[in-house]
Structure 1
Amino acid sequence: MCIKNILITGGAGFIGSNLALKLVKRGYQVTVLDNLSTQIHGEDPEKTSSLYLSIIDKVKFIKGTVTSKVDWELALAGQDAIIHYAAETGTGQSMYEVNKYVEVNINGTAIMLDLLVNSVHTVKKVIVASSRSIYGEGKYLCKDLGPVYPKQRESVDMDSGDFEVKYDGVGDLELVGTDEESKIHPSSVYGITKQNQEQMVMTVCPTIGVAGVAFRYQNVYGPGQSLKNPYTGILSIFSTQIKNGHGINIFEDGKESRDFVFIDDVVDATILGLENDNANNQVFNVGYGQAVDVMTVAKQLSEYYGIKVPITVSGNYRLGDIRHNYADLTKIKNLLGFTPKVSFDEGLQRFTNWVNTQAVHEDQYAKSIQEMKEKGLYK
């Protein structure tokens, strides 16, 4: 499969821009379609967004949106592959901006697929950014029942300070890595839209002779991550709070955990999916394969910045959040030879070193929480 020309939707974003730069170095011709959302890039992004400025002289850039058929038609011309990153992100925000998330994530993908089915094109492969959010709560082992997949947690339990997952009343569940065969049952609108994106691509593409690949990314972080966006990216949110000297409010009991995967590893995994035919028509987890709890994240960030701020475990929670999830990487290792190289400790040091070179941005996190409170989604 000869691939030279690549379209990256959302290619001015965090993952997309890093991927674009590495693909250019590898000799690919890269086109980026991006709307330069102010939530990610800030005001006047064409002058001030470091992500946009890092790629603008190295790629063909089209300012547009995936919700526009005209923009898609312009961007698709002559492309051999599409890497589809353009999406609204943020679990919490998705629960009250439902239409926007559906319009961009689902309908934007539908326009792409409709064009691939019904028009003449040269696209041979489509890679879609899926998400660990499609799993909802992760995979657990029960002594008596074996593998189980707990449902979304109940407010009545969390209101009383019980944040652990439950499965039909059974306790003592052991968290294990979530593999690609695990149950898909998202607990947020964002997760539902990512599930739809993935399933549409993996259903439609093979029927028209286009290879589909889906990467279920865990929590991606690293230098270049938006420090302006208060709706997603726990490391960025905490960093902005610390840099402003504000205290950190830890949700639940601080023991909730995530799988943090460094941006360089995500880029490398994605390029393997592009260049390796073993990836065709397959879905893969991309993570580090280790769970790190939120309290540890807050403490390590404060330590690396050398700034002490109050860290409060409040017992507050957001509807739609999961308790735990980390990736089983067996499949991507066996089929694509991918093993993450950057540990969380090394990655966090590289991330905080970069943040220390950046201007301190206004902390708008309280505004995002207030929005959730007004909608009854923050308890």
Structure 2
Amino acid sequence: MNRILITGGAGFIGSKLALKLMGKGYEVTVLDNLSRQIHGDNPAETSPLYRSIKDKVNFVQGSVTSKNDWQRALNGQDVVVHFAAETGTGQSMYEIQKYVDVNINGTAILLDILANQENQVKKVIIASSRSIYGEGKYNSDEHGIVYPKHRVARYMDNGDFDVKYGDSGEQLIVMATDEESKIHPSSVYGITKQNQEQMIMTVCPTLGIAPVAFRYQNVYGPGQSLKNPYTGILSIFSTQIKNGNGINIFEDGKETRDFVFIDDIVDATILGIESSEADGEVFNVGSGVAVDVVTVAKELLKNYEVEVPITITGNYRLGDIRHNYADLTKIKSKLGFEPKFTFSEGLRLFTDWVNLQEVESDNSAESINEMKTRGLYK
């Protein structure tokens, strides 16, 4: 399976994967629409991600919402790695049709072609997301393992952001989320990722194509877009810091995420491509460690050796989850995956890279205002 198509292959993960696969001797084709939100107005000049693969891969500029573009890109491919997607959790709550069109309908077009037209695809890797777990897995003293519903405004408006369970509002203890955990996304983005994953895992086996789904946690590292104010907390905070602006932290700053370094994501994905043990399986990919947002902000300031104010605002966004970190037992046992980078090691590599980049405009206030006008930012 030497020929691999990466949709969204000019993006953060896709471009890194493309370069590593080419180094291993694979022939790589990339389908990407070079979105302005990620790549800027003139990608050949403004996008280091695109420039890193330009003239190295077979590049097809096009959209996964176009059947013709899919057909051009799929010709002769053995493996499809489907990364192309709209990815902002908050933005998904008001650009609903766009997220459904790109993420769900784009995947449907792929599967329709595979089901009805001659092709030689043998495996499809789908980039799923930790967002499909919603508020994730918790332990209750009274009920044992529970999967709480989305948080409600009556608590959060009073500064209580912890996840509750039942009518009594019982406090819970967060647990690592395994692949058998309940799927109940709390955002449109999460819903679209759930749909993508389920379509791939359901349809591909009926066609004799091996499906693999990776539920990625919060991916970061050198090369991620510093232009996009809608996703990527490390890049958003870094752009604020580099502009001399203060960092505004939502909720109480104690919300946590599992940050996984880009090289670990690429390695896990290649294991999925190359290992038959991955076929038909769904895997979490993360570091397995939860880091709170206040710690993220302080570590960034320490690495950049600057001081800007950190403000814990008490504001919150509808659709955000409180905590999530991955249980990696399955991917370790089946594929032998082990994350190589701690958060401190990966963050140092990321901030060293940011220090070499031009300072981008801080457009985070614009994204907040878009949510505020729609009643999604409280």
- Code of the aligned partner of 2:79: A
Q: Deviations over 1:59-118 (max 9, x none)?
A: 000000000000000000000000000000110000000000000000000000000000
Please tell me whether residue 320 in structure 1 is matched to residue 319 in structure 2.
yes
Q: Distance in 1 between matches of 2:142 and 2:155?
A: 23
Letter in 2 for 1:272: L
Match of 1:184 in 2: 183
Measure the CA separation in 1 of the matches of 2:128 and 2:313: 31
The superposition leaves residues 320-364 of structure 1 with CA deviations (integer Å, 9 ceiling, x where unpaired) of 000000000000000000010100000000000000000000000
- CA apart distance, 1:138: 1.5
Q: CA deviation at 1:279?
A: 0.3
Tell me by how many angstroms 1:307 deviates.
Answer: 1.2
Indicate the SS of the match to 1:284: strand
Deviation, 1:302, is 0.8
Aligned twin of 1:147: 145
CA contact (8 A) 2:165 2:171 kept: no
- The structure 1 residue matched to 2:39, chosen from 41, 46, 49, is 41
Shift of 1:47: 2.4
Equivalent positions of 1:1-379 (< 5 A) are 3-168=1-166, 169-379=168-378
- 1:170 CA displacement: 4.8
CA RMSD across the alignment: 0.6
Q: Distance in 2 between matches of 1:155 and 1:266?
A: 35
Q: Which amino acid aligns with 1:317?
A: Y
**CA distance in 2 between partners of 1:286 and 1:167 (Å):** 27
> Percent same amino acid at aligned positions?
72
Moved more, 140-149 or 179-188: 140-149
Q: Aligned-pair distance for 1:145?
A: 1.4
Aligned partner of residue 91 in structure 1, secondary structure: coil
Secondary structure of the 2:332 match is helix
Note the C-alpha offset of 1:144: 2.3
Deviations 1:169-218 (A, max 9, x none): 35231111000000000000000000000000000000110000000000
Equivalent residue of 1:288, what SS?
coil
Does the 8 A contact of 2:99 with 2:192 survive in 1?
Answer: yes
- Structure 2 Cα separation of the partners of residues 354 and 280 of structure 1: 35
* SS of residue in 2 equivalent to 1:144: coil
Q: Is the 8 A contact 2:125 2:212 kept in 1?
A: yes
CA shift digits 1:206-234 (9 cap, x unpaired): 01100000000000000000000000000
Q: What is the distance in 1 between the residues matched to 2:142 and 2:305?
A: 47
Secondary structure of 1:272's match? helix
The 1-side partners of 2:232 and 2:64 are apart by 23
Q: Report the Cα distance in structure 1 between the residues aligned to 2:141 and 2:274, rounded to whole angstroms.
A: 42
Distance in 1 separating the partners of 2:152 and 2:294: 22
Letter in 2 for 1:289: G
Give the counterpart letter for 2:102 in structure 1.
V
Question: How many angstroms apart in 2 are the aligned matches of 1:163 and 1:78?
Answer: 51
Q: In 1, distance between residues paired with 2:248 and 2:331? A: 36
What SS does the corresponding residue of 2:30 show, helix, strand or coil? strand
SS at 1:345 equivalent: helix
Residue 249 of structure 1 and its aligned partner are, at CA, apart by: 0.7
Q: Distance in 2 between matches of 1:40 and 1:22?
A: 21
CA distance in 1, matches of 2:142, 2:316: 30
Q: Is the 8 A contact 2:162 2:171 kept in 1?
A: no
Aligned AA for 1:187? S
Aligned-partner Cα distance in 1 for 2:135–2:207: 34
Pairwise CA distance, 1:57:
2.0
Structure 1, 234-243 or 299-308: larger mean CA deviation: 299-308
TM-score normalised per structure 2: 0.99
Aligned mates of 2:73, 2:249 — CA distance in 1? 42
- Unpaired runs of 5+ residues, structure 2, are none
2-structure distance, mates of 1:163, 1:48: 39
Moved more, 204-213 or 40-49: 40-49
SS in 1 for 2:174: strand
Return the alpha-carbon distance in structure 1 between the equivalents of residues 316 and 173 of structure 2.
22
Q: Give, in whole Å, the separation in 1 of the partners of 2:11 and 2:136.
A: 27
Q: Deviations over 1:6-39 (max 9, x none)?
A: 0000000000000000000000000000000010
Aligned equivalents of 1:48, 1:262: Cα separation in 2: 24
Partner amino acid, structure 1, of 2:213: A
